[in-house]
């Protein structure tokens, strides 16, 4: 039997159109449940209340503690990953022989391929006990270990995108710097890194977005207590872990508790959506600077 080519093409287009349906589905799902949520909880409370206690009898629905927890763990992750990732990028681009770079790059990618639940286990059973030797007051669930391990996970993201950005800097700039007698280090940090700064910023924004949405590492190692604090040694809760916590329990559909996970979800969605589009905007705006 011969299927007319038009039918095949329409079928392919249908498959491609599925991706739009996914976005529509996400927006519909988050939107519909969140609207119901805000029928019961005021938006002002949601954005300004400093307590998040939907499971207690004295209910408070302030997203700020969860947001603080999310930002804290992400910040710690970037704090470790940015210097290491950027150093790797500079080293690979300017120092290492290209045969070494091409061979080590896929090996570094392994760091991003390890399942996150495994990283969570490491943070809880290896990193936290080790850090407790130096910080005796460190709680067994804390933002520090979770953030640190998350940082290791996002090293390849920062290093490979930054390396691409450094590589794209025109040769003439480097050669001018070397011609003036600068060392590789001076050329890298005084010429290449500033010239590639927009690409490096893009890599950092994407890394933050990745860290914000990370779930299992924080669920295992950072605890489930929505404390509004910037202290990295105590248990906290992120937006993602709250969703996990509720999903693990038996929450009846249609209840206010059920709707809280969608309200938390839409906050997370808005956050990552903004970050991702900020990075696209940055990329577009600065891409053609040297062409």
Query: Rounded distance, CA 257 to CA 96, Å?
Result: 54
Q: Which residues, including other chains, have CB under 8 Å from residue 267's CB and lie 6 or more apart?
A: 63, 66, 67, 239
Residue with Cβ nearer other proteins (52 or 148): 148
Six-digit token string for 60: 């408070």
Calculate ∠ Cα 208-214-216, nearest 5°.
155
Q: Which of 239, 289, 271 has the alpha carbon at shortest distance from 52?
A: 239
Residue with Cβ nearer other proteins (49 or 214): 214
| Distances from the Cα of 151 to the Cα of 32, 76, 79, 231, 268, angstroms | 35, 7, 8, 18, 19
Residue with Cβ nearer other proteins (133 or 290): 133
Cα radius of gyration rounded to whole Å, the chain: 23
Residue with Cβ nearer other proteins (130 or 290): 130
Six-digit token string for 170: 């025109």
Shortest Cβ distance from residue 57 to other proteins (Å)? Answer: 25
Shortest Cβ distance from residue 161 to other proteins (Å)? Answer: 13
Query: Rounded distance, CA 143 to CA 148, Å?
Result: 8
Shortest Cβ distance from residue 251 to other proteins (Å)? Answer: 11
Residue with Cβ nearer other proteins (191 or 220): 220
Shortest Cβ distance from residue 127 to other proteins (Å)? Answer: 9
Query: Rounded distance, CA 173 to CA 175, Å?
Result: 5
Shortest Cβ distance from residue 73 to other proteins (Å)? Answer: 13
């Amino acid at each position: 039997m011969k299927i007319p080519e038009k039918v095949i093409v329409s079928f392919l287009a249908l498959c491609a159109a599925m991706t739009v349906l996914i976005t529509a589905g996400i927006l519909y799902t988050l939107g519909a449940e969140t609207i119901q949520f805000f029928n019961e909880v005021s938006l002002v409370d949601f954005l300004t209340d400093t307590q998040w206690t939907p499971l207690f009898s004295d209910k408070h629905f302030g997203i700020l503690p969860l947001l603080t927890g999310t930002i804290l763990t992400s910040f710690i992750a970037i704090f470790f990953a940015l210097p290491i990732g950027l150093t790797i990028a500079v080293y690979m681009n300017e120092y290492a022989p290209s045969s070494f770079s091409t061979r080590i790059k896929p090996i570094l990618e392994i760091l991003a391929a390890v399942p996150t639940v495994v990283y969570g286990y490491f943070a809880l059973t290896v990193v936290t006990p080790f850090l407790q030797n130096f910080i005796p007051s460190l709680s067994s669930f804390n933002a520090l270990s979770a953030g640190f391990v998350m940082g290791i996970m996002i090293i390849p993201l920062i290093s490979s995108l930054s390396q691409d950005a450094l590589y794209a800097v025109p040769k003439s700039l480097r050669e001018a710097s070397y011609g003036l007698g600068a060392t590789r280090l001076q050329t890298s940090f005084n010429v290449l890194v500033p010239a590639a700064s927009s690409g490096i910023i893009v890599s950092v924004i994407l890394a933050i977005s990745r860290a914000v949405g990370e779930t299992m590492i924080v669920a295992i190692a950072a605890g489930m207590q929505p404390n509004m604090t910037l202290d990295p040694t105590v248990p906290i809760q992120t937006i993602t872990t709250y969703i996990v916590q509720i999903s693990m329990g038996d929450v009846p559909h249609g209840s206010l508790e059920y709707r809280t996970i969608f309200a938390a979800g839409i906050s997370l969605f808005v956050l990552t959506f903004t970050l991702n589009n900020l990075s696209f905007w940055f990329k577009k705006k600065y891409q053609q600077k040297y062409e």
